[in-house]
Amino acid sequence: MSIRAGIGLSTYPFSSTKGFWDWVQMCEEGDIDSIWQTDTLVSKEPMLECMTTMAAIAGATKKLKFGMNVASVALRDPLVLAKQCATIDVLSDGRILPAFGIGSTFSADWRTTGRPTKRRGKRTDESLEIISGLWRGETVTLDGEFFQYDGVRISPLPVQKHLPLWIGGSSAAAVRRTIKYGTGWQASFENPTQAGETVEAIKQGMIEAGRDFEDDHFGTGINFRFGKWDDDIVVRAAERYERVGGRSAKDSFCVGGPEEVLEKIQAFADAGLPKIILRPMASDDADTIHQTKLMIDEIQPGVAAMN
């Protein structure tokens, strides 16, 4: 089981486009495994749209992989989403890592647009059925509850023969969705013990369903900072995390030095989640670059030593 660490952004901490691209180039040159963009459409804070961000990164890099953590399928048209992912995969020569979920009920994306949260899980399942079929090269005809398609297909198909389809979320429905459609799973808001329990539930369900995916296709995001718990940026992030997720930031965040971050990564890996997305808690361009450089210099060698 290979332990790998990527890096993720939720908010957009950069004051200039140059700051963002300097950061992307640092990730490319620093052999970071992957970049992940959080999906939020409506927010007070600056946040990039995940699909266009993936397309932009594809054109600006040569080896870096990238994904969305996670794209809310129920807010999007599945034909368009399948085509977007396939196009980005073709133009990046097979580097996109699609990850999907239903999106949080707390998200302003639902409340401010008047979209119903009722049956959004069913809408997501219907969408995933369509997306996975299109990626396999099938001609899809469907008279569903939410979508009616008559002989749709996409071309070109993704470069990756089996394009990843990771599922996010820890509800019972998300577990069932992962077992039925997924090729990987990403935790959200869980500490290592809680996430490990979900991993075991998915593995058992996969056995019962006669399906399987690789042991290293389980992952999680970790908010980290080289600093102190009373740093303003950490205090604000912890307050929001606990308000939205209802769980202790102390159990999930990494704050301190390399030892603390590596210890948390190892704890998640021991629980069966070896794919880590480290999200720097940073205030601006310089701080984000600084935190990322520390990750490259101090964390990447430690992660490599775990394998």
- pLDDT, one tens digit per residue, over 115-153 is 888 888 999 999 999 999 999 999 999 999 999 999 999
| Contact status, residue 149 vs residue 166, Cβ threshold 8 Å | no
* pLDDT tens string 212-242: 988 899 999 999 999 999 999 999 999 988 8
Domain borders along the chain are: 4-306
Residue 233: C-alpha distances to residues 6, 161, 198, 224, 302 (Å): 21, 42, 30, 11, 25
* pLDDT tens string 2-45: 999 999 998 899 999 999 999 999 999 998 989 999 998 888 88
To the question of domain 4-306 being in CATH 3.40.50.1820, the answer is no
- pTM for the structure as a whole: 0.93
Please give the pLDDT value at position 79.
97
| Contact status, residue 306 vs residue 266, Cβ threshold 8 Å | yes
* Mean pLDDT, residues 96-106 taken together: 85
Helix (H), strand (E) at residue 186: strand 184-186
